[in-house]
Structure 1
Amino acid sequence: MSTSILVVDDEPDLERLLVQKFRRQIRDSTLRFLFARDGVEALAVLAANQDVDMVLSDINMPRMDGLSLLAKLQERDAELSTIIVSAYSDMANIRTAMNRGAYDFVTKPIDFPDLEATIVKTIHHVEALREAQRRQSAAEQARASLSRYFSPNLAERLASSAETLDLGGTRREVASLFTDLTGFTTLVETIEPSVLGPLVNDYIVGMTDIVFAHDGTVAKIIGDALHVLFGAPADQPDHAGRAVACSLALDAFARSFREDWSRKGIILGDTRIGAHAGTAVVGNFGGARFFDYSAYGDTINVAARLEVANKTLGTRICVSGSLATKAQDFRGRPVGDLLLRGRAEPIRAFEPLDAAIYASAETQAYMEAFGKLEARDHGALASFAALVGRNAEDRLASFHLKRLLNGETTTIITL
């Protein structure tokens, strides 16, 4: 690699001496010298040659001296390493030059072996600076890319630890969460693009902001749907609790968003959310060309199917019993034992609730009714009928009432 040096000195013989002393490096193209006779000419040379790596400058020169040149370089924010050349008797000016950002100095008369050693040292310094700048630029690009998927704090950690996102996957304990806005396809076909664009953008930004607030990872965004992970790529011992809290926050945002757009004449469906906890293979599976942070395994499939199960159950959030068990202080009402597609055994599912709703008399009445259903108590039908009579909007209670009226007698629900 060639290093370009601008020599700024009004001594007529210096150019010839430098070309002679460094002729081998010039011939091998490892060094390239440019020359200027004062600071004014030096600035013009620098403007015409953006690849100059260092400046070798005298102090005492006509029109613009070396100290003034240093000040101009600082004003330009030029990232150049400067070597000052001056006599020992001019030591006060040399100190001033060093205070103004000069990297090193050599004294006159020039000792060329000393000058060569100083140039080599400065080249190493320039290379170190460039490597630091390259790393900083790479880190900034990584942060910009990662911030689309991860919370700001997590993106910062990952950008400074690239090995965390090496190609390939690792098996880890995660909580997987899926969301879906019902009726989105119909919405796309019925409203103008000028309306659809802001609607979808605001919805996705609002949803992802909530995910990031809970330090979740957005693994996928497909249209209006999100796939979110907790516990990956960084360990989160409380990943299950984060998933539950995030689910409730996403539901609250989606309901508020729906109401806002309803006032504008746009009717949106519910946002359905499903979540499950377990092991999954997680990593960057995009190959060398693409960043595709993904998760695979039964844990992911179950979470996706729980999201779909909401449509049948009448719920907006449905989480697995394994997630509920792992989440500290979980509050929710049991949905039933879901026999999901592709699974031989049913899994217990719950509808998470905030503290106030969980403590309400209506929730306690539901718990009693569900307890009777579990015990195959014939009084379950009357209990669920009373619940629906008091609150026709309780779609989960209505779902169980219809099941009982159709002859179902257990908590097992085939989906």
Structure 2
Amino acid sequence: MHEPARVLLVDDQPTNLKLLDATLSPRGYAVRTAASGEEALAVLAEGGTDLVLLDIVMPGIDGYEVCRRIRQDPATAFLPVVMVTASGEQQKIQALEAGADDFLTKPVDRAELLARVASLSRIKRYHDTIARQAAELSSWNRELEDRVQAQVGELERMAKLRRFLSPQLAELIVDSGDESFLDSHRREIVVVFCDLRGFTPFAEASEPEEVMGVLADYHQALGDLIFRFEGTLERFAGDGLMVFFNDPVPCADGALRAIRMSVAMRTRVQALAETWRRQGHDLALGIGIAQGYATLGKIGFDGRFDYAAIGSVTNLASRLCSDAEPWQILTTERVFAAAGPAVVGAHAGDRTLRGFSRSVRAFDIKGLDASAVAS
């Protein structure tokens, strides 16, 4: 049910105000009165008026001027105004020119008064509804713009994080808003390093576009597996690639997960190598895996950051990778033992690796025991 329309009666004659009030108040209209143009403008400035019945002839500011000022004020520009005229077409024309919506002729007919007020009150309600809906729509648009801006910011953050984190982890960071774990810290990790055997002579003898095509297939194949096993990608460097586990999100099965990913990488690149071989390219994959402590965190400069692991464990994985034969996965004894019975491998001898004073006992990963992995 609608609230009663609030009507302002403006006339310098108290008798006229009483007559109009006696007609409107019994019909449920909320009536206020003003005895001059100045008083009327003061009442309108307070707000809360839905319709004005305005006499023309008054001392001081007359009805025409009051109406013009009503139209000039943005707060009352659309307020319905009914001018009350004595007679004559000229007054009616002037009333319309001043901005009146309608007019009544004295003596005011009761039925005509009620009809005019009811009609214009209804129009005012429609206008108020449209104004309210427009304000709500504007508010919704601002809210939508804010949400879009926030989502764009999240997408930008997500794009940066996905350079080295799995999609699941990147989404977790964006949702929580917490990037503190990217700060420098120390943790034990399992590092996987791999590259292509025969890549250097291939790159020297091939066109750049051909090299880029091979790298695109290679990176796409391995990148999918890195995300699937939820590894952290430190970098792509040509045909070289480094991934680590147990940071920034801890995982109890880092060694096993690293080996499973490496076996899947070998299988997938072997399939690619068949295509490369038909194109005249002799390429194979070598992988090294090591476990140890490293310092990890965000490195770089404003506008370009990476997430890196610094420590001898990364060098050890790289050296094992370099020492591996084509299609061989070499791990340290520590990784092989930590991975458990699901891994099928054999002792590959003690290796003397560049940069390490002691020899490293290496193990050659043959594959996975499907029954042990399933259990």
Give the TM-score band, short-chain normalised: 0.5 to 0.7
Partner of 1:341: 354
Q: Write out per-residue CA displacement over residues 202-221 of structure 1, whole angstroms, 9 at most, x where no aligned residue.
A: 11111111111111121110
| Secondary structure in 2 matching 1:286 | strand
Using structure 1 for the length normalisation, give the TM-score. 0.55
Query: Once the 2 structures are TM-superposed, how far is the Cα of residue 162 of structure 1 from its aligned partner?
Result: 4.7
Q: Give yes or no for the alignment of 1:146 onto 2:158.
A: no
Separation of aligned partners in 1, 2:293 and 2:344: 23
Residues 219-234 of structure 1 correspond to what in structure 2 (within 5 A)? 219-234=234-249
CA-to-aligned-CA distance 1:5-55 (integer Å, 9 cap, x gap):
xxxxxx986774249x9xxxxxxxxxxxxx99xxxxxxxxxxxxxxxxxxx
1:218 touches 1:229 (CA, 8 Å); kept in 2? yes
* Displacement after TM superposition at 1:182 (Å): 1.5
Is 1:305 paired with 2:319? Answer: yes
Aligned length: 265
- Structure 2, unpaired ranges of 5+: 1-66, 79-100, 102-119
CA contact (8 A) 2:166 2:227 kept: yes
In structure 2, the residue matched to 1:269 is: 283
Pick the aligned partner of 2:136 from 75, 100, 103: 103
Structure 2 counterpart SS, 1:295: strand
The SS at the match of 1:163 is coil
Task: Structure 1: state its 5+ residue gaps.
Answer: 1-10, 22-34, 37-60, 62-85, 105-118, 360-415
What's 1:201 paired with? 216
What displacement does 1:253 show?
A: 1.2
What TM-score does the superposition give when structure 2 sets the normalisation length? 0.61
Identify the residue that residue 295 of structure 1 maps to in structure 2.
Answer: 309
**2-structure distance, mates of 1:288, 1:191:** 37
Give the counterpart letter for 2:154 in structure 1.
Answer: A
1:350-361 matched pairs, under 5 angstroms: 350-355=363-368
* Aligned counterpart for 2:207 among listed residues 177, 181, 192: 192
Q: 1:270 to 1:136 in 2, by over 3 A?
A: same
CA RMSD of aligned residues (A): 3.7
Specify the code of the residue in structure 2 equivalent to 1:103.
E
Contact 1:270 1:316 in 2 (8 A): no
Cα 1:90/1:238, change in 2 over 3 Å: farther
Structural mapping, 1:51-130, within 5 Å: 103=136
Query: Given that residues 219 and 228 in structure 1 are in contact (C-alpha distance below 8 angstroms), is that contact kept between their aligned partners in structure 2?
Result: yes
Look up the match of 2:300. Answer: 286
Q: 1:331 aligns to what?
A: 344
Deviation for aligned residue 1:201: 0.7
Question: Aligned to 1:354, what secondary structure does the other structure show?
Answer: strand
What is the CA–CA distance in structure 2 between the aligned matches of 1:13 and 1:327, rounded to whole Å?
Answer: 86
Q: What's the CA shift for 1:152?
A: 2.0
Q: Mapping of 1:38-49 within 5 angstroms?
A: none
Query: Are 1:236 and 2:292 an aligned pair?
Result: no
CA deviations over 1:321-345 (Å, ceiling 9, x no partner) = 1111222433211112333333343
| Residues 70-101 of structure 1 deviation map (CA, whole Å, 9 limit, x = unaligned) | xxxxxxxxxxxxxxxx9788668867887x78
Change (3 A) 1:357 1:127: closer
Aligned residue type for 1:342: G
Amino acid in structure 2 at the alignment position of 1:196: V
Partners of 1:315 and 1:307 lie apart in 2 by 10
> Are the aligned partners of 1:307 and 1:317 in contact in 2 as well (CA < 8 Å)?
yes
Residue-by-residue CA offset, 1:254-310 (whole Å, 9 max, x unaligned) = 21111111123x222221100111221111111333111111012111111111121
Q: 1:248 to 1:16 in 2, by over 3 A?
A: same
TM superposition shift of 1:241: 1.2
The 1-side partners of 2:333 and 2:164 are apart by: 27
Specify whether residues 231 and 169 from structure 1 end up closer, same or farther in structure 2 by C-alpha distance, changes over 3 A only.
same
SS at match of 1:334: strand
What's 1:375 paired with?
none
Cα distance in 2 for partners of 1:281, 1:246 equals 23
Give the secondary structure class of the aligned counterpart of 2:304.
Answer: coil
Offset of 1:249 from its aligned partner?
Answer: 0.7
- Report SS of the residue matched to 2:73: helix
Change (3 A) 1:18 1:243: same
Conserved? CA contact 1:337–1:349, under 8 Å: yes
Mapped partners of 1:251, 1:172: distance in 2: 28
Secondary structure of the equivalent of 2:324?
Answer: helix
Aligned to 1:278, what secondary structure does the other structure show?
Answer: strand
Change (3 A) 1:17 1:348: same
Q: SS of the residue aligned with 2:236?
A: strand
The DSSP-based 3-state class of the residue aligned with 2:224 is: helix
**What CA deviation, in whole Å up to 9, does each residue of 1:360-389 have, x standing for no partner?**
xxxxxxxxxxxxxxxxxxxxxxxxxxxxxx
Q: Which residue of 2 aligns with 1:318?
A: 330
Partner of 1:6 in structure 2? none
SS in 2 for 1:148: coil
TM-fit CA distance, 1:244: 0.5
